[in-house]
Structure 1
Amino acid sequence: MSNSLALPITLTAGNFDSYLNVVGQTNKLNAEEERELAIRFRDHQDLEAAKQLVMANLRFVAHVARGYNGYGLPMNDIVQEGNIGLMKAVKRFNPDLGIRLVSFAVHWIRAEIHEYVIKNWRIVKIATTKSQRKLFFNLRKSKKNLGWLSKNEAEAIAQNLNVDLKTVYEMETRLDGKDMAFDLPEADSSEEAYSAPISYLEQHNTDPALLLENADWAGHKEMLLSNALQGLDERSQDIVASRWLTEKKLTLHELAERYNVSAERIRQLEKNAMKKLKGAVSILA
């Protein structure tokens, strides 16, 4: 339905005031008019009726959106998300419930705005669970006139919102955190430059030349090991393979029974074979 309803003016940052003027001039609907339009849309899928319901309530969306002005996000985007919530509400509205559309739609409007704010307020998503989302908005309001929460304040918030005390403290820490650019602009001092995450989060093992060199060297060692293993006698090869190169490793006693010798003899043969293999691999180390 949202694709079929066009707003009377494009909602962009440059003409936001003009948009507010236009929606402020739209005619309000009384309860009977609203119910009639809602029935037309529900029973006959009358998109023109749905459009009139949306248009008549755009000013209410703008009113709700103003409450989210303190998050540092573009107000036109917040209003646009609220409009999406309004259109979803119109689609689900039941005129037989005996309530006005705005009373029903406020939940959908706030839900869409909340989703947008949480996704865009920080680079890293700050709230993922239902309890964290509830805390994000309520705790931010509670902290406007407070510094760090005292134990009693945190316990009161946890009880009022029915969340764990630990979740309150975690969200408080997240709210007080700040995003930082990975690579800061040219700094005036070396100390400022060092504070940029790029200076201490650099991953030195991702150099393509170094990775290629290491891979080539590992392949060379594997070749040396394979050649050294083939240079052993058949019994020594079998002992090494049975003890180190199979998923189900055999014990010294099991190999002693196989070759009809003592377990100590198997241990000596294994030790000598491993010594030869290590020598072959480490010759160029």
Structure 2
Amino acid sequence: MKRAAPKTNGHDGATHDVGVLMAVNGSGERSPATDGPDDDQQALRGASSDEVELGNALQAYLRDIRRTPLLTPQQEFDTAVAARAGDFDARQAMIEHNLRLVVSIAKNYLGRGLPMSDLIEEGNLGLMHAIGKFEPERGFRFSTYSSWWIRQSIERALMHQARLVRLPVHIVRELNQVLKARRALEALQSAQGAEGRVRAEDVAQALGRPVDDVAELLAYAELPSSLDSPVDRNGEGGESMLDLVADDQAIDPLGLRLSHEVEQLLQHGLASLNDREREVLAGRYGLSDREPETLDVLAIRLKLTRERIRQIQIEALAKLKRNMMRHGVDRDSIF
């Protein structure tokens, strides 16, 4: 005989009022993740501490789910068995009674690129997935089992949605490990009343990993900035980051002028050479849109030896340098 799910104290509308969460409407497969064993029951009780400034709808949702009592171990077992047997009401009860677990886990991912409402939504997907796979006969608490699925769902969403550039899965996993260690160090530092930011060196020491590897992973955690974001310099404002970024493709007026002057000096210097010297340099360096020629090709074309072509080239270059130095060009700036 199928066992009935425990009553939910009139909580049927807890998530229906907040459409963005879609946790208990039976249409979306939302699920939670895993914490520690029975320690997760303590995490459930503190899940609503991040209500401040989350928006009216989300605050109402958090207040609503806090009214739903936690299931006792026996109630959880009976409800999970009924849900596994296909009891829809039991499945809904398992979802509703574990929504606080999702919030407890989701708040650890704030500041990673997704708003709290999206984190909860993704966590609820993981929770529902866990309900379909949970086997209460194995003796584990559901919070322990479901926490892993909740985290997986949230982390997958962060990997696919929160970044302009998607990171490989193995990088995301390593990054999550580093960020978890940093959060633990920050919590310890706060408890001890210490000031200052947790450094990459501290995280590397805690994980036993090279500092360079940890620093590189932490760089991936930085959120990209928009070029349109305002920049306030000296309290003046009115500028965006785009105004301060140099354009690599822009033409430097000073550089353009200097290039033009050098070109004029080069043409003046070439005019001072004799015809053979100009022909050798034009052939060797591809001047006047010509293709560069080897010493052998020039030797054949000008009916001179290869060595004589090389000597003419050296003499012509020396004349050019002297001519350009007379016009104020620095020796080190000349070819």
Shorter-normalised TM range: 0.5 to 0.7
In structure 1, the residue matched to 2:153 is 112
Partner of 2:126: 85
2:65 matched residue in structure 1: 23
Counterpart of 1:149 in structure 2 is 200
Pair 87,201 (structure 1): closer, same or farther in 2 beyond 3 Å: farther
Question: Could you tell me which of 213, 217, 224 is aligned with 1:167?
Answer: 213
Matched AA of 1:9? D
Distance, in Å, in 2 between the alignment partners of 1:34 and 1:49 is 10
Q: CA deviation at 1:77?
A: 1.1
More helix by share: 1
CA RMSD of aligned residues (A): 3.5
> SS state of the match for residue 67, structure 1?
helix
State how many pairs are aligned: 189
The 2-side partners of 1:104 and 1:15 are apart by 29
The answer to whether 1:195 aligns with 2:245 is: yes
For 1:189 and 1:116, how far apart are their aligned partners in 2? 34
In the TM superposition, what whole-angstrom CA distance separates every residue of 1:73-96 from its partner, at most 9, and x where no partner exists? 311111111111111111111111
Q: Which runs of 5+ in 1 are unaligned?
A: 1-5, 203-285
**Residue 80 of structure 1 aligns to which amino acid in structure 2?**
E
Choose which of 76, 80, 103 in structure 2 pairs with 1:62.
103
Q: Does 1:10 align with 2:55?
A: no
Q: Give the TM-score, by structure 2 length.
A: 0.47
Q: For residues 2-35 of structure 1, give each alpha carbon's deviation from its aligned partner in whole angstroms, at most 9, with x where no partner exists.
A: xxxx943224454111111221122432222221
Kindly state the Cα deviation for residue 146 of structure 1 after the two structures are TM-superposed.
3.6
8 Å contact kept, 2:130–2:145: yes
| Unaligned ranges ≥5, structure 2 | 1-13, 21-54, 187-195, 232-236, 251-335
Separation (CA, whole Å) in 1 of partners of 2:241 and 2:117: 39
Match of 1:135 in 2: 177
Change (3 A) 1:21 1:169: closer
* Alpha-carbon shift at residue 190 of structure 1 (Å): 10
Higher relative contact order (CA 8 A, sep 6+): 2
Rounded to whole Å, the distance in 2 between the matches of 1:40 and 1:191 is 58
Alignment-derived partner of residue 44 in structure 2: none
Note if contact 2:113-2:158 (Cα within 8 Å) is conserved in structure 1: no
**Cα gap change, 1:92/1:201 in structure 2, threshold over 3 Å: closer, same or farther?**
farther
Superposed displacement of residue 57, structure 1: 0.9
TM-score by length of 1: 0.54
Q: Percent identity?
A: 24
Deviation of the 1:66 alpha carbon? 2.3
SS at match of 2:79: helix
Shift of 1:51: 1.0
